[in-house]
Amino acid sequence: MKALLCLATCALSILTATSACAQAWPQRPIRVLLPNAAGSTTDVLARIIGRELAPRLGQPVLIEPRPGANGVVAVDEASKAAPDGYTLVIGSNGTYGILPGAGVKLPYDAVTGFEPVTKVNQVSYIFTARNNFPAKNFTEFVAAARQKPGNVSMGFTGSVAELAATLLGTTTGIQFNMVPYKSPAQTIVDLIGDRLDTVMETHATLLKQIQAGTMRPLAVTSRERSALLPDVPTVAESGYPEYEAVAWQGFFAPAGTPKAVIARLSTEINAVLNMPEVRAALRQNGIEVSPSTPEQLGELVKAEIAKWVRLFRNPAFKRPG
């Protein structure tokens, strides 16, 4: 009986200590690893959220860019961090969907290596041409580009944009001259300077330039038209109903992070995302928020991987590179 009482006391002590630890979190700054460089759209997103999240948690939120290897550097570092709630990473459908689905050998497991926190946003890409390209709309562009196989250049930044562009070429029968860039800003400079024919970039990258009239948007890559560019048709409605390419981002923590901490993070980040001033600030940067529960983000990761596995195994799909 004494032994049982002793065990019960110990168990109660452990549970009490665990509960107290969870309640005490956070006790020091929280760092958010970014897969992109400082000044990128993801950096802007993280800093807007972090500025409002810090007072809600009572601790500073430190934004730490870790660019490299299409986002793998940041995600890998996060996967190896202590699961104590003090390290988060902003992942995307590139690092948590496309790369695993393509069978790329990664230093982390996108499903078992993390605790999903919340989805942040979902964005489509804008397929845009230089102003003096001899086509006024997407249909005219396809017809013109088919006449010049390999002579129409396509600028892009990152693996998701590359796949969106590659899929566009496969779907429409256009053979693009693919030109990778390290910085979205440089694609803009080269498009405006007529050194590129087209670019495939996000709303956040291109919206202000489009509004200024320095380039011509031909189509968006989502199923529905963008609320930010309601007059620009989708690729799907332009005669290719099977085409869709969107990007999303979300917060993830290392596997094993306490559920109570994940729940608190999800609640607080979603509260920030639902603040009107935050939504307005993000919208000005071409970002439309799309929060979720941890469970919903986890299911999205699994569905995203499955989607890209099917696509990469399709013999009709022309792989990039």
**Which residues are CB-neighbours of 264 under 8 A, at least 6 positions away?**
25
**Which residues are CB-neighbours of 3 under 8 A, at least 6 positions away?**
none
pLDDT at 186 over 70: yes
- Supply the pTM of this predicted model: 0.73
Fold of the domain built from segment(s) 124-238 = D-Maltodextrin-Binding Protein; domain 2 (3.40.190)
Instruction: Tell me how far CA of residue 267 lies from CA of 30, 118, 124, 227, in angstroms.
Output: 16, 9, 26, 26
Instruction: Tell me how far CA of residue 120 lies from CA of 230, 291, 294, in angstroms.
Output: 22, 5, 11
124: left (phi over 0), alpha (psi -120 to 50) or beta: beta
Summarised one tens digit per residue, pLDDT across range 214-260 is: 999 999 999 889 888 999 999 999 999 989 888 899 999 999 999 99
Instruction: Find out whether 37 and 43 touch, Cβ atoms under 8 Å.
Output: yes
Considering the chain, tell me which residue range(s) the CATH 3.40.190.150 domain(s) occupy.
Answer: 29-123+246-313
Summarised one tens digit per residue, pLDDT across range 9-62 is: 554 444 444 444 455 999 999 999 999 999 888 999 999 999 999 999 999 999
The neighbouring-strand residues paired with 248 are: 122
Q: Identify residue 21 by its one-letter amino acid code.
A: C
The 3-state DSSP class for residue 177 equals strand
The 3-state DSSP class for residue 221 equals coil
Summarised one tens digit per residue, pLDDT across range 91-118 is: 999 999 999 999 999 999 999 999 999 9
> Bigger pLDDT: 8 or 234?
234
pLDDT at 88 over 50: yes
Considering the chain, tell me which residue range(s) the CATH 3.40.190.10 domain(s) occupy.
Answer: 124-238
Fold of the domain built from segment(s) 29-123+246-313 = D-Maltodextrin-Binding Protein; domain 2 (3.40.190)
Beta carbons within 10 angstroms of residue 102's beta carbon: 18
Query: Long-range contacts of range 104-113, CB-CB < 8 Å, 24 or more positions apart?
Result: 106/72, 106/76, 107/72, 107/76, 107/79, 108/72, 108/75, 108/76, 108/79, 109/79, 110/301, 110/305, 111/298, 111/301, 111/302, 111/305, 112/255, 113/79, 113/254, 113/255
Summarised one tens digit per residue, pLDDT across range 150-165 is: 999 999 998 778 888 9
- CA atoms of 303 and 13, how far apart (whole Å): 41
pLDDT for the residue numbered 285: 81
Instruction: Find out whether 155 and 190 touch, Cβ atoms under 8 Å.
Output: yes
